[in-house]
């Protein structure tokens, strides 16, 4: 039921991402558009990781980030960490308890990219060099592409995390919050932190419109059946 209730929000988030993408990545030059400098750097970073992934997917690195994200969200939600183990392509975190956010966090929250964006913003505030913004955008593209490709690779296999919450709920949850955080990280990487507020408001409005449309449809069907 929660998964079904999330579907309009998923649609609203997808619309919001599509509508904000051009504003983040493209600059108008006369009658044409071209990617902003940070947009080019982001794309270059994503392409660099795509080559890396093709040659040798960083399984240990992804496993470490995956388990570390479980651990970080467990600490944020008040759980205790009892053990932390990482091997090549697999790992395990022993916790005092869990919940859907802890279980699914590594699939929707790109922790390395968020760290890069925060550090980049702090360094840009302290020094103000364009090269800092370009480097942050490049590393954001690289780490976000790592997150997306390795997450899709992990989801292609049997995942206890997904089975624990049920496939329908887990996929809806990951899709929505993946658009919020992973999509938001991409927009901020190219368009700056001002995109975060614009994107958040856009998701809210598009989701409300989706729920309103669904409610209107349900009322229309109910009225038709009643008459």
Domain boundaries, the chain: 2-19+33-57+104-212
pTM above 0.75, yes or no: yes
Average pLDDT in the chain: 91
pLDDT score of 198: 96
Over 90: is that where the pLDDT of 64 sits?
yes
Say how far apart CA 91 and CA 60 lie, in whole Å. 9
Average pLDDT over residues 174-191: 96
The pLDDT > 90 percentage for the chain reads: 74
Where does the chain show beta strands of DSSP type E? Answer: 26-29, 32-35, 81-87, 90-95
| Average pLDDT rounded to a whole number, residues 186-213 | 95
Give, as one character, the DSSP assignment of residue 80.
Answer: P
pLDDT of residue 163: 83
By percentage, how much of the chain surpasses pLDDT 70? 97
Out of 69-73, 95-99, 101-105, 156-160, least confident range = 156-160
* Per-residue buried b or exposed e for 67-99, using 16+ beta carbons within 10 Å of the residue's own CB: bbbbbbbbeeeebeeeeeebeeeebebebeebe
Q: What is the pLDDT of residue 142?
A: 98
User: Given a cut of 70, is residue 20 above it in pLDDT?
Assistant: yes
Interval 117-161: pLDDT, tens = 999 999 999 998 999 999 999 999 999 999 999 999 888 777 788
Report pLDDT digits (tens) over 33-47. Answer: 777 889 999 999 999
If you ran DSSP here, which 8-state letter would residue 93 be given?
A: E
- Distance between CA atoms of 54 and 142, rounded to whole angstroms? 13
Residue 30 has pLDDT above 80, yes or no: no
The contacts of residue 65 (CB under 8 Å, 6+ apart) are 106, 111, 112, 147
Q: Are 96 and 110 in contact (CB under 8 A)?
A: no
Query: What is the predicted pLDDT for the residue at 227?
Result: 66
Report the first-to-last Cα separation within the chain, whole angstroms.
28
Residue 31: pLDDT above 90? no
Which pLDDT belongs to residue 218? 85
- Tell me: pLDDT of 162 over 90: no
- 43: tokens are 């794309």
């Amino acid at each position: 039921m929660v998964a079904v209730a999330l579907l309009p929000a998923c649609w609203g988030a997808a619309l919001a991402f599509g509508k904000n993408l051009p504003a983040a990545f493209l600059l108008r030059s006369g009658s044409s558009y071209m990617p902003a400098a940070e947009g080019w750097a982001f794309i270059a970073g994503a392409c660099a990781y795509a080559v890396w992934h093709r040659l040798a997917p960083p399984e240990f690195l992804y496993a470490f980030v995956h388990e570390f994200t479980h651990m970080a969200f467990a600490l944020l939600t008040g759980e205790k960490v009892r053990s932390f183990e990482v091997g090549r392509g697999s790992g395990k975190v022993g916790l005092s308890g869990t919940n859907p956010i802890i279980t699914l966090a590594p699939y929707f929250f790109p922790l390395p990219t968020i760290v890069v964006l925060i550090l980049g913003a702090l360094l840009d505030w302290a020094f103000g060099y364009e090269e800092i913004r370009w480097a942050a955008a490049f590393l954001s593209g690289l780490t976000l592409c790592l997150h997306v490709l390795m997450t899709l690779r992990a989801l292609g296999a049997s995942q206890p995390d997904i089975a624990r919450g049920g496939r329908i709920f887990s996929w809806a949850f990951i899709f929505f919050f993946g658009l919020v955080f992973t999509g938001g990280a991409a927009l901020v990487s190219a368009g700056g932190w001002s995109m975060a507020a614009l994107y958040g408001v856009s998701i809210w409005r598009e989701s409300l419109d989706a729920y309103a449309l669904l409610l209107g449809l349900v009322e229309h069907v109910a009225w038709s059946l009643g008459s």
